Structure 1
Amino acid sequence: MTIPPPPTEPPTAGMPDAQPSPASEVVAEWWRKDGPRIPTPTPAPVQASVHIPVPVGPAAPPSVEEAAAAFWAPAREIFAEQATTIASQIGQLLTETEAQRAAREQVEYEELLAGQRARRDAAFTKVGETAKERAERHRIEDALAGGPAQRDDLVGLVDLLANRITETPEDRAARLEAERETAKRRARAEEDAALAAAGETPEQRTKRHRQQQLADQREARTKARRERRRAARAKGDSSDRTRRFWRWAILTAISATGGYSTGLVSLIAPGGPMVGLLLAGFGWALDLHIRDRGRLRVSEVRGAGPLLILVILRVPVASGLAVAAGLAPLFTALPLYR
């Protein structure tokens, strides 16, 4: 089979071209080349860019008026918001009495606590809290509350300053005692919650509460005894101070005589004053511990039994003082040892 030669002209030869273009000329020659060629698009003309000069370095600082306006703008808004609140608080101070304000705050505080407790009860009921667990939780919450909270606004500050200025020493002592009791109840409530979470049984908690109750009763008796002694001292005068001194000197001399009779003074006398002071220091520590850490004075001890115990327990401190003061040779001159 013979293949005819390619034609010398394209099949469209002789057809008119309405608008000849460079692209048509390229396409018209495709049959003479290896294949059709895609015409290269003519690039768009490049427009000249405009250079805008930018200053190099930090911007110009604002003026003093602009800085002041920017600074006082938020402060002015805060003052505008607080002006109404401050005015209402001042109005309360001027028109409302102290009793009326305390009663109103107490009612508001109770309503707030009641609402918070109702929401907590509803939340714990959904997770299966029993009535016994709810009662125990309420007891701990009551101990942690500790009474109405102090207001933190202008009225609360004025009330606090007024109370501090006008309260008497007795009122101050009562307030401090109430604060200590509240802190104690709060600490014990937190301890109960922590131990309950750690697995403490109701029997163990009851036993621990009984021990705390006995300790509180003993502390109350000790405190009442100290108050009675303090009240008795307040009634004394300068002559009582002289009598207390002579009573202390006589009881100390009796204790030192007992130390010489038992040989304690003769035993520590060769050591000199330093050994005497050392023994007196140890004896004084024991003496203070026995006398309620020094709150009970030596001259305030009454009764034959307590006086005998006091004289015996103060033998070391009296003997040490005698040796430190160089009074040991004087005991040989007493008629009792001739």
Structure 2
Amino acid sequence: MTIPPPPTEPPTAGMPTPEPEPVAEWWRKDGPRIPAPVQPSAPDAIVHIPVPVGVGGPASMASMEETAAAFWAPVGRILSEQVPAMAAQIGQQVTQLMNETEAQRSAREQVEYEARIAAERAERDALFAAAGESAAQRAERHRVEDVLNPGHRRDDLVGMVDLLAARISETPEERTARLETERELDKRRRRAREDAERAAAGETPEQRTRRHRQQQLADKREAATRARRERRRAAREAGPSDRVRRFRRWCVLTAISAVGGYSTGLVQVITPGGPYVGLLLAAFGWGLDTHLRDRGRLRVSEVRGARPLVLLVLARIPVAAGLTVALGLGNVLAALPLY
């Protein structure tokens, strides 16, 4: 087979040349020209046709209501489970607050508290027993825990209302007693911690007993001093009638001491020295009397009892004798029908 040679001219040779068309300004006048959709060449070709949102059909998206319902379904399920339980608990507490008496509430709280404390103590005992704790160590630990136990108080709505009502309705005397009780409990806790620390440091039972006895004596002295200061404070805050009564009592006791000084001859001995010697003796006696009366914290009018009064009169003889000589009342005492 022979291959013909290539043609010398292109196939378009001799055809008229098309004239160039002017540039159309359609983008400025008529806007863009949207070409017509191309029809598929095959009947089974896949063509994407845009569908508006919300139009039904198997390929359509879910509506806004369905999306919101799907989002809030778990929240509604959780609320439906939790809200009734919370409402029941609050209703139970309000019912207890409104209908339960104080004795019933205290008994129920005490039972719950004891049950919880017993369970916690049993758990701790099991842990310490596994660590090798002996029976004596367990008994000592229980004693310290009982001392350090601050009590129980409800931390819910009922407890808050009870605490608020107690603080509002308490009197100054009740508040003082409550503070004293809290102070005493705090002192016991501190001493229990001190006992544990000293026991760990090697303190013997005899030493602990001796230290406890000294602490008890110090507590008694502290209580007596506090009571005496409270009485003095109350006396200072008293009205004028109490002040007049105290002054009269002071005058009577001083007069009795002056009579005793005249009977013992102390007034006659210092009378030749004059008023200045009397003032000197009165100052010396006042210093001794103040020292015996807890440096002046115990007033003369506050002394009670036969024996304290006799001791007070005897201790104030130098004061009364010095005042008698300084004021020139020796002749008055000599004129009394007692001699």
What's the TM-score, normalizing by structure 1?
A: 0.53
Specify the alignment match of 1:251 in structure 2.
253
Specify the alignment match of 1:179 in structure 2.
182
Q: CA deviation at 1:158?
A: 1.8
Q: CA deviation at 1:133?
A: 1.3
Specify the alignment match of 2:62 in structure 1.
none
Q: Give deviations 1:285-333, integer Å, cap 9, x for gaps.
A: 4253189x42x75365343x4333102323566578x49xxx7142354
Specify the alignment match of 1:269 in structure 2.
276
In the alignment, which of 193, 205, 217 is matched to residue 190 of structure 1?
193
Specify the alignment match of 1:205 in structure 2.
208
Residues 265, 171 of structure 1: CA spacing in aligned structure 2 closer, same or farther, 3 A cutoff? farther
- Alpha-carbon distance between aligned partners in 1 of 2:269 and 2:301, rounded to the nearest angstrom: 22
Name the aligned partner's letter for residue 329 of structure 2. Answer: F
Residues 193, 316 of structure 1: CA spacing in aligned structure 2 closer, same or farther, 3 A cutoff? farther
Name the aligned partner's letter for residue 301 of structure 2. Answer: V
Residues 155, 265 of structure 1: CA spacing in aligned structure 2 closer, same or farther, 3 A cutoff? farther
- Alpha-carbon distance between aligned partners in 1 of 2:93 and 2:273, rounded to the nearest angstrom: 78
- Alpha-carbon distance between aligned partners in 2 of 1:125 and 1:265, rounded to the nearest angstrom: 87
Specify the alignment match of 1:108 in structure 2.
112
Q: Give deviations 1:227-269, integer Å, cap 9, x for gaps.
A: xx99xx9xxx999876654332021234456375674996993
Structure 2 spans left out of the alignment, 5+ residues: 1-81
How many residue pairs match? The answer is: 238
Specify the alignment match of 1:138 in structure 2.
142
Aligned-residue CA RMSD (Å): 4.7
Q: CA deviation at 1:134?
A: 1.1
Q: Which secondary structure state, in structure 2, belongs to the residue aligned with residue 289 of structure 1? A: coil
Specify the alignment match of 2:37 in structure 1.
none
What's the TM-score, normalizing by structure 2?
A: 0.53
- Alpha-carbon distance between aligned partners in 1 of 2:134 and 2:191, rounded to the nearest angstrom: 23
Q: Give deviations 1:92-143, integer Å, cap 9, x for gaps.
A: 3224332232222222221222222222222222222211111111111101
- Alpha-carbon distance between aligned partners in 1 of 2:155 and 2:275, rounded to the nearest angstrom: 65
Q: CA deviation at 1:218?
A: 7.2
Specify the alignment match of 2:309 in structure 1.
307
Larger radius of gyration: 2
The 5 Å alignment of 1:1-338 reads 89-146=93-150, 148-167=151-170, 171-172=174-175, 174-213=177-216, 245-255=247-257, 258=261, 260=267, 263=270, 269=276, 282-283=287-288, 285-289=290-294, 293-294=297-298, 298=301, 300-303=303-306, 305-315=307-317, 322=323, 328-336=326-334
CA contact (8 A) 2:285 2:318 kept: yes
Specify the alignment match of 1:49 in structure 2.
none
Q: CA deviation at 1:162?
A: 2.2
- Alpha-carbon distance between aligned partners in 1 of 2:258 and 2:114, rounded to the nearest angstrom: 65
- Alpha-carbon distance between aligned partners in 2 of 1:181 and 1:264, rounded to the nearest angstrom: 55
Name the aligned partner's letter for residue 132 of structure 1. Answer: A
The sequence identity of aligned pairs, in percent, is 52
Name the aligned partner's letter for residue 308 of structure 1. Answer: V
Q: Give deviations 1:140-167, integer Å, cap 9, x for gaps.
A: 1101114x22334432232123224444
